[in-house]
Chains A and B, each alone.
Chain A
Amino acid sequence: KNQVEQSPQSLIILEGKNCTLQCNYTVSPFSNLRWYKQDTGRGPVSLTIMTFSENTKSNGRYTATLDADTKQSSLHITASQLSDSASYICVVSAHNNNDMRFGAGTRLTVKP
């Protein structure tokens, strides 16, 4: 079983609407959690990185939350744009080794 599970697998929303993507993990002991955006045919690009002590971090219209107690993170996208259509990948790192565990991603499609 993957140590990082993302939901939903795919999501279609209308332009201008908000959405929230989920990431649950079992990686332990926790070091940091990152959200990446991957456009079709491109490599992943970092959106945010969160450490244990951070609950919320924003990057423009993207807001990530972290609950280290329940081992859950979310990525909220506000006022979606067509350019937000991409895969969003959650990556969790552990303290005791150098592993980074990748979720399978959520494929977001924003329609006009």
Chain B
Amino acid sequence: NAGVTQTPKFQVLKTGQSMTLQCAQDMNHNSMYWYRQDPGMGLRLIYYSASEGTTDKGEVPNGYNVSRLNKREFSLRLESAAPSQTSVYFCASSPYRQVLVHFGDGTRLSIL
């Protein structure tokens, strides 16, 4: 089983460019999440989707949009990238919220 798959693994953008981070899970989980991880800080929730068809803002949603395309896929879009969005982005999934969460291996994003 692949678990949670994120693409791309690495990306460099220029300020103002847009891009979409892709995430797919093959565990039939209802809930999916996007986090960012910055040095010296805990993972912070950007957006989550409790179930197919729903999305909600997390702790740090500004500058991001999400789409829950179907039960398997949850994408994160940066419309106009800023240097402050340089980070490692993790997608995760769980059967329901508050239950064990499975993480992908991250997308390392640098914005110049």
Contact = CB atoms under 8 A, between A and B. Distances in A.
B98 A104 contact: no
A32 B98 contact: yes
A interface, over-half SS: strand
Interface string A30-51: 0110100000011111100100
Given A42-B105, A43-B4, A45-B103, A104 B42 contact: yes
Contacts of A44: 43, 90, 103
The size class of the interface chain A forms with chain B is 20 to 34
A43 B98 contact: no
Contacts, number: 44
Contacts of A21: none
Contact of A41 (B41, B101, B103, B105): B105
A100 B105 contact: no
B42 A101 contact: yes
Contacts of B21: none
A31 to B, nearest CB: 6
B2 interface: no
Interface of B: 4, 40-45, 48, 50, 90, 92, 97-98, 100-106
